[in-house]
Chains A and B, each alone.
Chain A
Amino acid sequence: MKTFSAWLLWLWMCLVIVGAFFYAPIAVGFRSPGSSRILFFHVPMAWTSFLAFIAAAVWSVKYLLRRNPRDDRAADVAIQLGLLFGVLATVTGALWANIEWGQYWNWDPRQTSLLASILFYAAYLGLRQSVEEPEKRARLAAAYALLGLVVTPFLFWVVPRITTSLHPDPVVNQSGKVDMDAPNLQVLLASGLGFAALFFWIHNLQCRLQALSERRATPKE
C-alpha cells in the first residue's frame, strides 16, 4: 500500500511537470514568457514551506499538551523540511527574478519575508543543538516554534503590505478574486497538492529514520 501511494505520487508529479510545460498556455506580459512556467514549481515550494512551518507549530502544541517525544521529532523534521522548501523557493525565485527583473536579489518584500522566516527557523535548529537534555530541548524548542506564529504572520502579510512589491499578484489577489486562466490554475493547484503530499511523504520517512537512529544511539539496558 505504501509503495503504491509512493508510485502514485511519482505519477502525479510527472503529470504536473508535463502539464506545466505542455498543457498550461504560455503567460503573456512577461519579459521572457517561457520563464513564467517556473510559477508551477516556485509558488508550490513557497506554499509547502509555509505548510511545513504551520505543521511544525501544530506538532509543537501537541508536544506541549501531551509531552510525547514523537511530536517533538515531528516538529523538528517539519522545520528541517520547511527550511529545505523555503531555500528552494528562494533560489528558484532569485533565478526568475534575474530573468524578469534583471537582478537576482531586489529586496522585494516577499523575498525579504521568506529570507527572514528562514533565519528564524534556522535559529530554531541552532537552539536544538545547544540543549543536551531531550525533555528540556523539546520544551524550549516547542515554545520557540510557537513564537514563530507571532513573527511569521507579520513577515508574510504585514510587511509586504506596507512596502510596494514587484511581485506578480498572488493567485488570490487583494481583491479576493482568482485571476488566472483555468488550465494554469489547474496545473498550479495540482502541483501544490503534489508538493504537499511530497512533504508529508518525506516527513514520514525522515521521522522514521530519525527514530531508528535515536534508538541505535541509546545504549541497551
Chain B
Amino acid sequence: MWRDASTWAAEAAAVFAKEWRCEFRTLYALNTLALFAFTTLVVVSFSLGPLGVERSAGSAVLPVLLWIILLFSVAAGLPRTFVQEEESQTAMALRLSATPSALFCGKLLYNLTLVLALEVLVTPAYLIMTSLRVASPGLLVAVLAAGGFGLATGSTLVAAIIAQARSKGTLFSVLSFPIFLPLLILAVELTRGAVFGDPGGVAVPVLLLYDASLTVAGLMLFPLVWNP
C-alpha cells in the first residue's frame, strides 16, 4: 500500500521534472506566456493607466483586465502541455510508463508553477504601470493563487481533450472559457474587493470549492480522456 503510494508520487514527480527539463531546453512556454502577457499589459496600461482614465474609473476596470490578460496568456501557453506530446508522438510512451492520475498530477503541477510564475512576473508590473493601488494586498495574493490554481487545473484537463482533436488552438479557447467563467466571475469580484478593501465574504470559500471540484473532476475524468 505504502509502496504503491510512493511509486505513484515518484511517477508524478518524474513527470513534473521531465516537463521542466523539456521547458528549460527551449523555454517555449515561459516565453510565450510572458511575451503575450507583457504585450497585452503594455497596451492596457498605456490606454487605461494614469494617462488614460481617471483613477476611480481605472480601479473599477483594471481588475477585470488583469484577469483577461492572465486568461489569454494561459490559453496561449498551456495547451502545449499535451499537444506537444501528441505532435512529437511521445504520448504513447507516456501512456505506457505512467499511471494516468500521476501523470495528471505531474502535468497539473507543471502548469501550476507556470501560471504562478506568470502571475509573479505580471502582477507587480501591471500594478506599477497602471498605478493601481491595492487596499488589501493579502486578499489579492490569495485570489491570484486560488484563481491561478483553477486556471491550471481546467487547462490541464482541456489540453488533454483538445490534443486528440483537430483545430487544437481555437478549440482550447472554446472548451475552456465556459469552464473558467464561474471562476473568473468570482476572481474578478474578489480582485476588485482587494483593490477597494472589501473582505471577500462568501466568494472566497466558493472560489476554493470550485478549485476543489475542478481538481476532483479532473482526476476522475482524465483517465477516461487519456486512455483509448
In the complex, are the beta carbons of B165 and A140 less than 8 A apart?
yes
B60 within 8 A of A: no
Against A, the Cβ 8 Å flags (1 = close, 0 = not) of B200-228 are: 00110010011001101100010011001
Binds A, one of B15-23, B47-55, B140-148, B174-182: B174-182
- Cα distance A11–B70 in the bound complex, in angstroms: 54
In the complex, are the beta carbons of B179 and A147 less than 8 A apart?
yes
A217 within 8 A of B: no
Q: Which residues on the A side are within 8 Å of B203 (C-beta)?
A: 162
What distance in Å separates the Cβ of A110 from its nearest Cβ neighbour in chain B? 14
With A116-B182, A143-B221, A150-B217 as known contacts, state yes or no: A126 contacts B164, CB within 8 Å: no
Against B, the Cβ 8 Å flags (1 = close, 0 = not) of A113-134 are: 0001101100100110011100
B26 within 8 A of A: no
Best-surrounded residue of A64, A123, A155 (most CB of chain B within 10 A): A123
What distance in Å separates the Cβ of B143 from its nearest Cβ neighbour in chain A? 15
In the complex, are the beta carbons of A151 and B164 less than 8 A apart?
no
- Cα distance A158–B177 in the bound complex, in angstroms: 18
A139 within 8 A of B: yes
Q: Which residues on the A side are within 8 Å of B174 (C-beta)?
A: 123, 126-127
In the complex, are the beta carbons of A159 and B182 less than 8 A apart?
yes
Interface residues of A in 36-82 (CB under 8 A from B): 64
B166 within 8 A of A: yes
Interface residues of A in 135-154 (CB under 8 A from B): 135-136, 139-140, 142-144, 146-147, 149-151, 154
- Cα distance A146–B217 in the bound complex, in angstroms: 8
In the complex, are the beta carbons of A154 and B182 less than 8 A apart?
yes
Q: Which residues on the B side are within 8 Å of A151 (C-beta)?
A: 178-179, 181-182
In the complex, are the beta carbons of B182 and A127 less than 8 A apart?
no
With A119-B181, A159-B185, A162-B202 as known contacts, state yes or no: A127 contacts B175, CB within 8 Å: yes
With A139-B224, A147-B221 as known contacts, state yes or no: A127 contacts B165, CB within 8 Å: yes
B161 within 8 A of A: yes
What distance in Å separates the Cβ of A142 from its nearest Cβ neighbour in chain B? 7
In the complex, are the beta carbons of B217 and A147 less than 8 A apart?
yes
Q: Which residues on the A side are within 8 Å of B165 (C-beta)?
A: 127, 130-131, 140
Q: Which residue of B lies closest to A126 (CB)?
A: B174
Against A, the Cβ 8 Å flags (1 = close, 0 = not) of B146-183 are: 00000000000100010011110001001101110110
- Cα distance A159–B185 in the bound complex, in angstroms: 9
A130-B167, A150-B213 known, 18 other contacts, Cβ within 8 Å = A119-B177, A120-B178, A120-B181, A123-B174, A126-B174, A127-B174, A127-B175, A130-B165, A130-B171, A139-B228, A140-B225, A149-B217, A154-B210, A159-B185, A162-B186, A162-B202, A162-B203, A162-B206
| Closest 6 pairs between A and B when the two form their complex, measured CB to CB | A120-B178, A154-B182, A130-B165, A150-B217, A119-B178, A143-B221
- A-B residue pairs in contact (CB < 8 Å), sample of 16: A123-B175, A126-B171, A126-B174, A131-B164, A131-B165, A131-B166, A135-B228, A139-B225, A140-B161, A140-B165, A143-B225, A144-B161, A154-B210, A158-B209, A162-B202, A162-B206
Interface positions of B (Cβ within 8 A of A): 157, 161, 164-167, 171, 174-175, 177-179, 181-182, 185-186, 189, 202-203, 206, 209-210, 213-214, 216-217, 221, 224-225, 228
